[in-house]
Amino acid sequence: MEQDTGVENGERRLEEGVRTDFTAAMSYADYLGLDTLLASQHPLSEPVHPDEMLFIIQHQTTELWFKLIIQELSGARDFFDADNNERARKSIARVKHIMRTLAEQWSVLATLTPSEYAEFRGVLGSASGFQSAQYRAVEFLLGNKNTSMLRLYAEGTPERELVEGALRSPTVYDAFLRALDRSGLAVPQSILERDVSQAWVEHPELTGVFEQIYRDPAAHWEAYATCEDLVDLEDAFQFWRFRHLRTVQRTIGFKTGTGGSTGVDFLKRALELTFFPELITVRTHLK
C-alpha cells in the first residue's frame, strides 16, 4: 500500500483542520496588529536607500523590547515589595535574556558599512537613540537616574510622563533592599529612606550586608541567588552597551552623534556606570 506523504504535485497539502476563512474569526495578523506594525516604517531618503529600512527596523524592534523590559522591571519591583522573590527573579531573568538578544542584534546593524550609512544619515536630522524615552526609563528603573535628562521631553507628553515617573519611583534595587531588610538583614535606614529620584551611588555601609549573604550562602540562599541574578543582569546590560559602542565606532568612527552627543566617547563613559556597585565590591572583601 502506497504511503500518503501529504505531498501532491510537489506541494504539501493543507491539513483538513486548518482554518482558511477569517471573515468571522481573529487571524494572526489581526491579533498582532500587523497592518499598523508593518506600515510603521517610513524611509525618508530619496530615492529610498535600501539600507534605511534596516536602520529603522533595528531601532523599532529595540523599542518593542524596551517596552517589555519596562514591564518586567516594574513587575520585579512590585514582586520584591510583595516579598515574592521567586517571581521577581523570573522577571529579572527574562530581562537578562532580552538584553542578550538585543546585544546580538547589533551584529545585524554592523552589516551597514560606513559608506552605506553616510548615504542616508543626513535624513535623520537630529534624531538619535539618545532621545529614547523608553531606554531612559529602563536606566532609571535600574538606578542610573539623571534629572537633566527630563529636558529632552516636553512637559505634558507621554514620553515626559514615562521618564519622570521612572525618575520619581523606587528602583528595582531599592525594592530588593527593602525586601532584604524585612527578611532580617539590617539594611541601613539612611539607604531605605533615601531620595529615590537621585542616582544610585555606592554605599560602603551596605557592603557589610552583602558580606553576610556571601559568607554563608546556605543560610541566605534566596538572597544570595537574587544577588547573582542582579549581577547577571548588569553583565548583560554592559555587554549590550559594549556592542553598541563597537557598532557605532565601526560605522561612524569618532563623529559627533546625530543628537549632538560626542558619540563613541559618550558611549565609552557609559561603560563606567554600574547599577549595583556593592555587589561587585563585596567580591573584593571575600577570602
- The domain locations on the chain are 49-285
Straight-line distance from the first to the last Cα atom of the chain, in angstroms, rounded to the nearest whole number? 73
Task: Find all residues with CB under 8 Å of 214, minimum gap 6, and list them.
Answer: 224, 227, 282, 283, 286
Q: How many helices (H) and strands (E) does the chain have?
A: 13, 2
In Å, what is the CA distance from 209 to each residue of 119, 186, 262? 54, 7, 39
Q: Are 179 and 80 spatial neighbours (Cβ–Cβ below 8 Å)?
A: yes
For residues 131-142, average pLDDT: 97
Whether 2 has a pLDDT exceeding 60, the answer reads no
Q: Which residue has the cell 468571522?
A: 24
Question: Is 189 known to sit in a ligand binding site?
Answer: no
Question: Is 57 known to sit in a ligand binding site?
Answer: yes
Whether 47 has a pLDDT exceeding 70, the answer reads yes
Whether 1 has a pLDDT exceeding 60, the answer reads no
For residues 47-56, average pLDDT: 97
For residue 123, the model assigns a pLDDT of 96
Question: Is 56 known to sit in a ligand binding site?
Answer: yes
Question: Is 262 known to sit in a ligand binding site?
Answer: no
Whether 174 has a pLDDT exceeding 90, the answer reads yes
Phi-psi region of 128 (alpha: psi -120 to 50; beta: other; left: phi over 0): beta
In percent, how much of the chain has pLDDT > 70?
A: 98
Write the single-letter amino acid at 281.
Answer: T
Question: Is 285 known to sit in a ligand binding site?
Answer: no
For residue 260, the model assigns a pLDDT of 87
Q: What is the assigned CATH class of domain 49-285?
A: mainly alpha
Question: Is 70 known to sit in a ligand binding site?
Answer: no
Question: Is 42 known to sit in a ligand binding site?
Answer: no
Length of the chain measured in residues: 287
Question: Is 121 known to sit in a ligand binding site?
Answer: yes
Query: Where do the H-state alpha helices sit in 82-132?
Result: 85-109, 114-118
Task: Find all residues with CB under 8 Å of 118, minimum gap 6, and list them.
Answer: none
Question: Is 49 known to sit in a ligand binding site?
Answer: no
